[in-house]
A and B are shown apart, each in its own frame.
Chain A
């Protein structure tokens, strides 16, 4: 029993190293990378780690390929998924400021994401900029949209259409966000 505990403890440490430290340009680790480093039982290691992180208000977040979350993922789906460590609870506006977000920029991001969701995930950049210009200074609007793209919240195609990108999928509970917004 103790040996088994030790086995998972060392694997958990390795998982923490892989998940917390940024190793590629994008944060997070692919399932197949975890399988290679931790062995075939990596989903179990992640489950134990997730339980352990609860007390620290953190969680292991799984983002599957494609748009939708998967209820009972297969091993193949897990291998292709990307795993991140994210905050489990939520930040206060003061804390958000402390991690480098001005309230204006954050509100702009929230408006943009909500607007893209409302337009079925695709919206011309011009429309978003017009919406933001209503409450943000004009010179800042373009810079902000570029910043959201750079951070990975949005992506833009050659026709200047905006879509939600990997970071939105990893960090934002889109359904909860829209539900809260509509109930305001």
Chain B
């Protein structure tokens, strides 16, 4: 069997395990319907085949769902060992055949309703009277609102920019100058033609940092730059391309989420984050 075909079969098998686990989790089916040993064997069998991140994620997801089912199995065993456990089938049979009156009689013997009182006290009455005395009449509280006359006139381009309805530069222009900035920064501070992600994205304010991260994501998507992730060191670098790289269909595009949180930004400001 070719490697490609084996990978395809492996994916299908993992998907099937995930679906089975999900149906047990969501529809509260008997968790022992799933043969965990068999599922683990399948996961193990196909693990050496996984190379791309998507397949590794699928593998991790399968393990996660299987772990949830094992948790449900342990809860099931715990429940069976408690004194509250009753055979669901036996109980359902009873519930179907029991008379309404008999059911109510049984229930009433085990039901001890809460006693609650809602009553106004003299103190609250006095308090309410005091409030009423101090309350202004509606005619004074809801005085008619006279709207002031507003003159209308056409807005200028500067005003629209100030109100952030229009942008100062077209987005493509902004992206081009941002690319230029990246190139300059790499020349100044970069090593081997690349710069640390946070050293490029980080700015004086958090808002500005988020804006820069937003633009950076477009630089990468449109091929102006590429990301280099060193998983072991947990470091991300950004590398400007000399020319925008054309999109190629041969390679599968991968989305990489990078969190830009206030905590990370604060750490970066303190020099604690690379």
Residues of A bordering B, CB below 8 Å:
20-22, 27-28, 58-59, 61, 84-93, 96, 99, 103-104, 106-107, 109-111, 113-115, 117-124, 131, 134-135, 159, 161, 167, 170-178, 180-182, 184
Contact = CB atoms under 8 A, between A and B. Distances in A.
Nearest to A84: B114
A106 B28 contact: no
Nearest to B109: A90
Given A93-B108, A120-B28, 14 more contacts: A22-B116, A22-B117, A22-B118, A87-B113, A90-B109, A92-B108, A107-B103, A118-B86, A118-B95, A119-B88, A171-B113, A174-B84, A177-B109, A182-B90
Contact of A131 (B95, B109, B112, B117): B95
Interface of B: 26-28, 75-76, 79, 83-84, 86-88, 90-92, 94-96, 98, 100-119
Given A115-B92, A124-B27, A161-B28, A27 B114 contact: yes
Q: Is the interface of B mostly helix, strand, loop or mixed?
A: helix
Given A59-B112, A118-B92, A174-B110, A110 B117 contact: no
24 contacts: A21-B117, A22-B118, A58-B115, A59-B112, A61-B114, A85-B115, A87-B113, A88-B112, A89-B112, A90-B108, A90-B110, A91-B108, A91-B113, A93-B101, A99-B113, A103-B101, A117-B91, A118-B87, A121-B79, A122-B28, A131-B96, A177-B109, A177-B110, A178-B84
B70 to A, nearest CB: 16
A19 to B, nearest CB: 8
Contacts of B103: 107, 110-111
Contacts of A106: 104, 107-108
B169 to A, nearest CB: 44
Contact of A96 (B83, B90, B104): B104
Contact of B117 (A20, A118, A167): A20
> Which of B103, B111, B119 gathers most chain A CB within 10 Å?
B111
A105 to B, nearest CB: 10
A135 B100 contact: yes
Nearest to A105: B104
B153 to A, nearest CB: 50
A87 B115 contact: yes
